[in-house]
Chain A
Amino acid sequence: MEPPEDVRARPGGGSGGVGALSLPSRIAVALAVAAVAVMVAVHLLAVFLHVAPENTITTQHGDLVAEYIYPEFEQNWKLFAPNPVQQNIHVWARAEVRKGDGSTETTGWVDLTAMDIADIRHNPAPSHTKQNELRRAWSFYTSTHGDQNRPIGTRGEMSRAYVQRIVETRFGPRLNGGAVERVQVRASTTPIAAPPWSNEKINTATSFQVLPWWPVDTKEDGS
């Protein structure tokens, strides 16, 4: 590769441009230019294919793209797309507690999402613990579970354990004067009504998805 002839002097520097260098240095610079160009091109191509919809290239070479992108260059920019979420999902939980006299009692349902929302209200900088934790844990759960709460792969069991841990953390080991032995989770979905100017009819009745009871790991509190 022949270096360009009309290289300007390096701004702010003492020595001249590439043209003023010795041959080995010029070769080194040429190799560096080529290396950077290739790396930039590969990176941008991989990122493009990663964010693009499934297409001819990704169906054939998707593994290659994934191998390059994951874990550190993963990205998702489908923000409110293709459609924004059009329902309010709340995650609720209740517990079965064992009292001192040996009897058990089931608590009422606690709207954990509503507690998060109460904290977000009039807060200029809501915490990730209130804004993302439960919301993303629940979408992780639903995306890794099929019909009848059947877990899909190892991620399914992971997401269940995660949701349970969040509930246990929020309830603590004791509730209503008893030790928490089992917890149960349900999710309520309330579609957002169509805008007043729209003539669309949307049923805004709340529906519930109730999960089975999960026994709490009681090793820690020793009860």
Chain B
Amino acid sequence: MSERSIVPSPFAGLGRALGKGISGGLARLTGTAIGRYQTAVVRMGFSLAWMLFLLREWPHRQELYGPDGVWSWDMAHQLIADNHAFSVLMWTRGQLWFEVVYAGAIVASAMLLLGWRTRTASLLFMIGVLSLQNRSVFVGDGGDNVIHLMAIYLVLTRCGQVWSLDSRRRARIAENSREDGPQDSQDDDPEDGSERGPQRDTTGIVLWSVLGAALVLVTALGLLSWGWAVIFWGFWLAQAVWWAVNRYAPDREPRTVLDIFANLAHNGTLLVIIVEVCLIYATAGWYKIQGNRWQDGTALYYPLHLDDFSPWPELSHAMASSGLMVMVITYGTVIVQVAFPFTLFNRRVKNVLLALMMVEHASIAVVLGLPFFSLAMITADAVFLPTGFLRWVGDRVSRRVRRMGGRTVPEAAAEAAPGADAGAQGQPEPSADPAPSNLVG
């Protein structure tokens, strides 16, 4: 062994590795929608939180958002004339219009929850969220704020690829066309008899036409700002192009290119969602560090003694009675919030912190009486859950549902492919997705 052996450069091969990483990454960004299960959970969680909130506030809907609500229509009009926020409730003051919008927001949430016509549902969901929240900006809290942002982001994701009625329909159509293809057998399923070709979609065409007519009307009446007009018309035209390409050139290049566009938008938006959640925790944590109550370890004590955030005063005061416990939770909260973004680089640590944050938010739901805020935050956290864990939960849930409801999934796909969990997974799993077997992977 020579005394002066040359230490190999740590940068050797860096250029090649970098090039390979970039090209591999590019292939992944264009070729797949990353985090299909995570975005599906985000979709379901936010639509559920908003739907439950709207149902809970049903008796108070006039007071919160109605034409004669406490934040009067004229006040809202004055504010929106100034900040140009989007709200269809500002189109007319009518009581009937308000009822239609509120009920429509609930329906859109249900559509998105089930993943029925997911892209359209996500747009309608966004319209509902923005219209109601922007109508009365002074009744919301942090939970409304997260839902507002995510409602916009979800529109650009392919969040209906799994765990949706859309994915089930796609699987069924694929199954049918595979059967029809080579053997040209008679299709004896009465329900799917009409779907002879792979892309015969009457419901979609009707939905698209109705929404197109509505879009023509509101554009003609001059109700949309040019920015929103471009967005809505853009999505409407994109739907038509996507349908046409699928129908007339399903295996050709334009279809591939459109698929790449959709994947790029999805993956870019997923990154935005991920960073957004990190920014929420980072700012929440970093601003806390500056406060002397978070430094002296008593911060938690005070919210537990706020009258309007203690629905269960006995519980709150019991929790606040132990100085040590208050200190541990106070410090723990800051540590977890500040550390979280950096733990994303270590899978195990990230998963432990994720579990802690979800438990904390679940406690906030009960102790501070903020169930919708908590559901929204837990859903935001869920974007970081491991795919293997999500698939395991999805599998358990679908099995249980099938066992309890007998045949709640009377789908052709489930019949045609015995043993395949079509109800839960819809599509074959791409091999690129790692599937760890448990939470801490």
A10 to B430, CA, bound (A): 9
**Per a CB cutoff under 8 Å, which of A10, A71, A86, A169 touches B85?**
A71
- Please encode chain B, from 105 to 146, with 1 for each CB lying within 8 Å of some chain A CB and 0 for all others: 000000000000000000000000010001000111110010
**Per a CB cutoff under 8 Å, which of B280, B294, B428, B430 touches A82?**
B294
Q: Is B291 an interface residue (CB 8 A)?
A: yes
Of B253-261, B351-359, B417-425, the one contacting chain A is: B253-261
Could you say which residues of chain B place their CB within 8 Å of the CB of A73? 149, 152
Q: Is A198 an interface residue (CB 8 A)?
A: yes
Could you say which residues of chain B place their CB within 8 Å of the CB of A61? none
A140 to B70, CA, bound (A): 14
Could you say which residues of chain A place their CB within 8 Å of the CB of B293? 83-84, 86
| A136 & B303 in contact (Cβ 8 Å cutoff) | no
- Please encode chain A, from 31 to 47, with 1 for each CB lying within 8 Å of some chain B CB and 0 for all others: 01100110110011001
| A47 & B276 in contact (Cβ 8 Å cutoff) | yes
CB distance from A17 to the nearest CB of B (A): 5
CB distance from B102 to the nearest CB of A (A): 14
Q: Is B104 an interface residue (CB 8 A)?
A: no
| B323 & A21 in contact (Cβ 8 Å cutoff) | no
**Per a CB cutoff under 8 Å, which of B30, B267, B275, B428 touches A44?**
B275
A13 to B30, CA, bound (A): 12
| B311 & A75 in contact (Cβ 8 Å cutoff) | no
Q: How many residues of A contact B (CB 8 A)?
A: 84
Q: Which of B40-91 contact A (CB under 8 A)?
A: 56-57, 60, 63-64, 70-72, 75, 78-79, 83-86
Could you say which residues of chain B place their CB within 8 Å of the CB of A135? 308
| A88 & B70 in contact (Cβ 8 Å cutoff) | no
| B283 & A84 in contact (Cβ 8 Å cutoff) | no
CB distance from A207 to the nearest CB of B (A): 16
CB distance from A139 to the nearest CB of B (A): 9
| B149 & A75 in contact (Cβ 8 Å cutoff) | yes
Could you say which residues of chain A place their CB within 8 Å of the CB of B256? 10, 13, 15, 21, 25
Residue of A52, A82, A86, A154 with most chain B CB atoms under a 10 A cut-off: A82
| A82 & B27 in contact (Cβ 8 Å cutoff) | no
Which residue of B has the minimal Cβ distance to A79?
Answer: B284
Q: Is A22 an interface residue (CB 8 A)?
A: yes
Q: A73-B149, A195-B326 are in contact. Are A81 and B138 (CB under 8 A)?
A: no
CB distance from B385 to the nearest CB of A (A): 21
Q: Is A132 an interface residue (CB 8 A)?
A: yes
| B302 & A81 in contact (Cβ 8 Å cutoff) | no
Q: Is A219 an interface residue (CB 8 A)?
A: no
**Per a CB cutoff under 8 Å, which of A15, A17, A40, A76 touches B30?**
A17
CB distance from B309 to the nearest CB of A (A): 8
| B298 & A198 in contact (Cβ 8 Å cutoff) | yes
Number of A-B contacts (CB under 8 A): 241
Q: A11-B432, A123-B369, A125-B56 are in contact. Are A77 and B280 (CB under 8 A)?
A: yes
A52 to B282, CA, bound (A): 10
Q: Is B305 an interface residue (CB 8 A)?
A: yes
Q: A80-B299, A81-B287, A83-B292 are in contact. Are A33 and B26 (CB under 8 A)?
A: yes
Q: Is A65 an interface residue (CB 8 A)?
A: no
A187 to B303, CA, bound (A): 19
Q: Is A214 an interface residue (CB 8 A)?
A: no
| A128 & B64 in contact (Cβ 8 Å cutoff) | yes
Could you say which residues of chain B place their CB within 8 Å of the CB of A102? none
Q: A11-B32, A125-B372 are in contact. Are A36 and B366 (CB under 8 A)?
A: no
Of A92-100, A160-168, A176-184, the one contacting chain B is: A160-168
Could you say which residues of chain B place their CB within 8 Å of the CB of A17? 27, 30-31
| A32 & B140 in contact (Cβ 8 Å cutoff) | no
Could you say which residues of chain A place their CB within 8 Å of the CB of B247? none
Q: Which of B256-296 contact A (CB under 8 A)?
A: 256-257, 259-261, 264-265, 267-269, 271-272, 275-276, 279-280, 283-284, 287-294
| B369 & A88 in contact (Cβ 8 Å cutoff) | no
Closest 7 CB pairs of A and B: A4-B23, A82-B291, A11-B430, A81-B287, A71-B85, A83-B291, A197-B323
A-B contact pairs, 21 of them (CB 8 A): A4-B24, A6-B20, A12-B428, A15-B256, A29-B30, A29-B260, A33-B30, A40-B271, A71-B86, A72-B130, A77-B279, A81-B287, A81-B294, A83-B291, A84-B293, A127-B60, A129-B63, A135-B308, A165-B70, A169-B63, A195-B323
- A residues at B contact (CB < 8 Å): 4-8, 10-15, 17-18, 21-22, 25, 28-29, 32-33, 36-37, 39-40, 43-44, 47-48, 51-52, 70-86, 88, 90, 113-114, 116-117, 120-133, 135-137, 140, 154, 158, 161-162, 165-166, 169, 192, 194-198
